[in-house]
Amino acid sequence: MELNKEKITLIADCEVTDKSKTAGGAVVRTSKFCADISECDFEGSCFVQTNLCATFKRSDMSGDYFEEVNLSGAGFERSDMSGDYFEEVNLSGAAFERSSICGAAFEEVNLSGAVFTDGDLSGVEISGCKLDGMTIDGLDVRELIEFYKKNHKENCDMKKNVRKAVIAGNWKMNKTRPEAKALLEELKGKVSDPGCEVIACVPFTNLETAVEATKGTPIKVGAQNCHFEKSGAFTGEISADMLVEMGVEYVVLGHSERRQYFGETDETVNKRTRAALAAGLKPIVCVGELLWERECNITEEVIARQIKLDFYGVSAEELKKCIIAYEPVWAIGTGKTATADQAEEVCAFIRATLAKLYGDDTAEAVTIQYGGSMNAGNAEELLSKANVDGGLIGGASLKAGDFNTIIEAATKG
């Protein structure tokens, strides 16, 4: 909040009574306001540690700043408070009548019992506030919030139903060929008509076995990496074309284990993503923050950076063929799952980031998975979230029964 420093008059330790006129931009500190305050000009003022238990009538209080102010029982009638900022303020029992507070921000403010009548509340932001008994035009705020949440959820659920739910197993470096065959045979027996897409991302040496074993079944096959060049002197690497030739449909790219142990960067993930798309593969691109990054409160910065770099140069049409897997690195193989709310928060953030880059329609079409210690016990709750469209599962995908339970949970979610 900007104050006009030239116009500032400091009123400290005083009592302000009716008809007081202060120049706009006043800083009012440790003062007491009593009784009725009418027709005052407080525009752009700053109230700090002040007792304002008064009735304000026809006063201009627009652009004001309130900090540690006691406003309990105060009344604001026909006042203009638009653009005000209230921090750590006690507004319990305050009444705002025919007052405009549009664009005002309330942070950690006690608003319980506050009454807003016939006012303009457009653009008001309320965070971390106490709201018990607060009413707007006679409507209980809690009911309004519940109403909003319900409508918001129904809206999100509708959009979720349009997207493809995808459960993918990332077998990592596990299973010999006979073991792979046995696991897929067992899985085939359980998964005959799944309500979601099912993928097994197997080691390179099992791809042929997997493609063969899953022919004519709903189970698709994915690889766990591919190189970005078409061919050449890249010992140990496999190209996207080589995977397509084998009948592979999906490829996991940018998994945190590849970033952590094999020097994969956002630049190489981007090159691999573009090469995979060009070859006709559907990439499952993994993003996720380290524990330290979460603790430093930079999860969103990390994720936004990965999304922007990993999909650089990828068109909207191509993006719709991709799956994004949100895998917080601290949750992978640790048994420490993100809570469903944490998973939803970041998956929603990924979608919002995509919306900024590609527009709402494209963002709404992209499948976003959660991965990291997802198992038969926690899958249903995680998959019930509006922006969690599926899972990328490590350990639990190695047991046909557990993996199938997750597939069934995706159908419910």
Q: Which residues are catalytic?
A: 255, 327
Q: Is 395 in the site for ligand 13P (CB under 6 A)?
A: yes
Nearest-approach distance from CB 372 to ligand 13P, in angstroms: 5
Across the strands, what pairs with 145?
none
Nearest-approach distance from CB 228 to ligand 13P, in angstroms: 20
The amino acid present at 182, given as its one-letter code, is A
Q: Tell which one of 104, 392, 409, 410 touches ligand 13P (CB under 6 A).
A: 392
Count of positions on this chain that bind ligand 13P (CB under 6 A) = 14
Nearest-approach distance from CB 354 to ligand 13P, in angstroms: 20
Q: Is 327 in the site for ligand 13P (CB under 6 A)?
A: yes
Query: Does residue 31 contact residue 66 with C-beta atoms inside 8 Å?
Result: no
CA distance 350 to 166: 17
Q: Is 332 in the site for ligand 13P (CB under 6 A)?
A: yes
Q: Is 183 in the site for ligand 13P (CB under 6 A)?
A: no
CA distance 96 to 207: 68
Nearest-approach distance from CB 358 to ligand 13P, in angstroms: 24
Query: Does residue 390 contact residue 323 with C-beta atoms inside 8 Å?
Result: yes
The amino acid present at 256, given as its one-letter code, is S
Q: Is 374 in the site for ligand 13P (CB under 6 A)?
A: yes
Q: For 90, list phi and psi in degrees, rounded to 5.
A: -95, 110
Nearest-approach distance from CB 337 to ligand 13P, in angstroms: 8
Stretch that binds ligand 13P, among 134-142, 377-385, 388-396, 403-411 (CB under 6 A): 388-396
For residues 85 and 259, which CB has a smaller minimum distance to ligand 13P in the complex?
259
Nearest-approach distance from CB 397 to ligand 13P, in angstroms: 7
Q: Tell which one of 113, 372, 390, 413 touches ligand 13P (CB under 6 A).
A: 372
Q: Is 393 in the site for ligand 13P (CB under 6 A)?
A: yes
How are beta strands 139-140 and 135-136 bridged, if at all?
antiparallel
CA distance 371 to 380: 13
Nearest alpha carbon to residue 394 among 411, 406, 409: 406
Query: How many other β-carbons are positioned within 10 Å of the β-carbon of residue 212?
Result: 13
CA distance 73 to 352: 40
Q: Is 170 in the site for ligand 13P (CB under 6 A)?
A: yes
Q: Is 277 in the site for ligand 13P (CB under 6 A)?
A: no
Stretch that binds ligand 13P, among 26-34, 180-188, 214-222, 368-376 (CB under 6 A): 368-376
Q: Give the burial string for 153-186 (b: 16+ CB within 10 Å, else e).
A: eeebeebbeeeebbbbbbbbebbeeeebbebbee
Q: Is 373 in the site for ligand 13P (CB under 6 A)?
A: yes
Q: Is 224 in the site for ligand 13P (CB under 6 A)?
A: no
Q: Is 377 in the site for ligand 13P (CB under 6 A)?
A: no
Q: Is 284 in the site for ligand 13P (CB under 6 A)?
A: no
27 contacts: CB under 8 Å, gap ≥ 6: 3, 8, 9, 10, 11, 45, 46, 48
> How far, in Å, are 47, 141, 349 from residue 113 at the CA level?
22, 10, 34
Q: For 151, list phi and psi in degrees, rounded to 5.
A: -65, -40
Q: Is 43 in the site for ligand 13P (CB under 6 A)?
A: no
For residues 184 and 396, which CB has a smaller minimum distance to ligand 13P in the complex?
396
Q: Tell which one of 189, 313, 333, 401 touches ligand 13P (CB under 6 A).
A: 333
Stretch that binds ligand 13P, among 145-153, 158-166, 186-194, 387-395 (CB under 6 A): 387-395
Nearest-approach distance from CB 261 to ligand 13P, in angstroms: 13
Q: Is 222 in the site for ligand 13P (CB under 6 A)?
A: no
Reported in sequence order, the residue ranges of 137-274 that DSSP labels E, i.e. its strands, are: 139-140, 166-170, 197-201, 219-223, 250-253
Chain contacts with ligand 13P (rule: CB under 6 A): 170, 255, 327, 332-333, 371-374, 392-396
